[in-house]
Structure 1
Amino acid sequence: MNAIELTHLDIAYGPTRVVHDVSLAIAEGESFALVGESGSGKSTILKAIAGLAPDWTGEISVLGSPRAHRPDRGFAKSCQMVFQDPYGSLHPRKTVDDCLAEPLAVHGLKGRDGRVKAVLAAVGLDQRFRFRYPHQLSGGQRQRVAIARALMLEPRILLLDEPTSALDVSVQAEILNLLKKLRREQGLTYLLVTHNLPVVSFLCDRLAVMRHGRIVEVAHVEALKRGALAEPYSRELYAASGGTLQPA
């Protein structure tokens, strides 16, 4: 069974269609990237899957179940999203403990203390961070908290929207290593949106190159590492990265 299937997906904002006829199949356990310039429709696809961009046609299937057009509780237990800006995605007046426990309260799940401790350890944060506020954390620590919150319901899929682009380069490497570790240990599936090809090279198995809301190429990451992408636009992106695809 595939983790995510998109079939002839069109997405619009009002009268403007921004994603055109996208079809993809992402296997369970795979790390898959959507790459392209800003405005290519990458993040819009994540939002449609998450129920945050409800004006779409076609089919979206997650773990074999057809996706509704809006968020629902059952979906939240299987798929979670990590946003680009960790400060903006965390409530400034809630402690880390409150942020992490909120999904448990919404879904009526018990064992708050044990679950919070376990997920903080999983993302490499000491228990002393538990009762701090977001403004008391560094950018990398806030992103670790955002990832921890996404893991609280033990989802099988994470939607990652530019999860390192707001961070310093050294901190980016820490978060990428964490994501790689979590995928290996928890058997997670990733759908990553990024414009950073070195991130794709380090974290992903396959990628789809998007332009003007359409997929122009799907390739294995080995083709990216060799600079052997087929489409001219894909090669332009590769050249813009400097042709150097070492891990970030």
Structure 2
Amino acid sequence: MTALSLKDLDIFYGDTQITYNVSLDIAEGESFALVGESGSGKSTVLKAIAGLAPQWTGKISVLGKARGHGVDRGFSRVCQMVFQDPYGSLHPRKTVDATLGEALTIHGIGDRSARVEEVMASVGLDRKFRFRFPHQLSGGQRQRVAIARALMLKPKILLLDEPTSALDVSVQAEILNLLKRLRREQNLTFLMVTHNLPVVSFLCDRLAVMRQGRIVEVAGIDELKRSELKEPYSRELMQISAAHAT
């Protein structure tokens, strides 16, 4: 089954058009990356899918069901988003327990305590962190909380917006390994935004290259690893990424 389908997606902020005719089909269980320079529209695509950028035309389908504009409680049971900044995405005055339990309360799901502890364990957070506040956690621990929050409703799809870019390099590897394990264990579908091509090589099956709001190339991960991307802009991104890695 197709997990996510985008057809001729044009997204706007007011009178400004951000994306043009974005079309993608992402299979259930696939890990797919949107890559491109800042301002290319890739994060805006995630926001439109999540209901955070409701001004769009075209079609968004999630697990075969058309997605409406705006916030949809039913949609949130199958698709959740992990944001880039673990410092900004968690409420500073809510404990880990309150943050994780909030979605269960909103959706009327019981067995709260057991569910919170189960998800904390799945992301590698010791139960001793349950009643701590974000300022008492490291950056990596905060991002584990953010991932745990996204998993509370047992979604099928995670939207990942630069999930490691705000973290130290050593912590980045831990979070990437965690995401890879969670995808395998829970048969999750990932749509990830990143500018880091080594991250794409490690975590993803395919990628789409975006430039100025348009998809210019879709390729398999083997083509990326063999440096066989076809579009000049895609090859330029590979060169920039390689230069940053050295």
TM-score, normalised relative to structure 1: 0.98
C-alpha separation between the residues in 2 aligned to 1:219 and 1:150? 28
Q: Within 5 Å, which residues of 2 pair with 1:12-91?
A: 12-91=12-91
C-alpha separation between the residues in 2 aligned to 1:241 and 1:46? 22
Q: Which amino acid aligns with 1:86?
A: P
C-alpha separation between the residues in 1 aligned to 2:70 and 2:63? 17
C-alpha separation between the residues in 1 aligned to 2:170 and 2:244? 18
Q: Deviations over 1:140-184 (max 9, x none)?
A: 000000000000000000000000000000000000000000000
Is contact 1:9-1:56 (8 Å) kept? Answer: yes
Alignment correspondent of 1:99: 99
Alignment correspondent of 2:3: 3
TM-score, normalised relative to structure 2: 0.98
Q: Which amino acid aligns with 1:92?
A: P
Alignment correspondent of 1:195: 195
Q: Which amino acid aligns with 2:221?
A: V
Alignment correspondent of 1:138: 138
C-alpha separation between the residues in 1 aligned to 2:149 and 2:44? 22
C-alpha separation between the residues in 2 aligned to 1:133 and 1:110? 23
Shift in Å, 1:245: 8.1
Alignment correspondent of 2:178: 178
Shift in Å, 1:241: 1.1
Q: Which amino acid aligns with 1:187?
A: N
Q: Which amino acid aligns with 1:214?
A: R
Is contact 1:225-1:245 (8 Å) kept? Answer: no
Q: Deviations over 1:116-144 (max 9, x none)?
A: 01000000010000000000000000000
C-alpha separation between the residues in 2 aligned to 1:53 and 1:225? 33
- 1:157 maps to 2:157: yes
Shift in Å, 1:42: 0.2
Shift in Å, 1:26: 0.1
Alignment correspondent of 1:116: 116
SS in 2 for 1:242: helix
SS in 1 for 2:54: coil
Alignment correspondent of 1:210: 210
Q: Give unpaired runs (5+ residues) of structure 1.
A: none
CA RMSD of aligned residues (A): 1.2
Is contact 1:36-1:209 (8 Å) kept? Answer: yes
C-alpha separation between the residues in 2 aligned to 1:205 and 1:131? 37
Could you list the structure 1 runs, at least 4 aligned residues long, displaced by more than 3 angstroms after superposition: 243-246
C-alpha separation between the residues in 2 aligned to 1:189 and 1:15? 33
Shift in Å, 1:48: 0.3
Cα distance change, pair 244–230 in 1 and its aligned pair in 2 (3 A): farther
Q: Deviations over 1:39-75 (max 9, x none)?
A: 0000000000000001100000001110011111100
Shift in Å, 1:243: 6.8
C-alpha separation between the residues in 2 aligned to 1:113 and 1:122? 14
Identity %: 74
SS in 1 for 2:53: coil
Q: Deviations over 1:96-115 (max 9, x none)?
A: 00000000000010010110
Cα distance change, pair 28–153 in 1 and its aligned pair in 2 (3 A): same
Shift in Å, 1:87: 1.5
Q: Deviations over 1:189-232 (max 9, x none)?
A: 00000000010000000000000000000000110011010000
Q: Which amino acid aligns with 1:206?
A: R
Q: Which amino acid aligns with 1:125?
A: L
C-alpha separation between the residues in 1 aligned to 2:7 and 2:120? 37
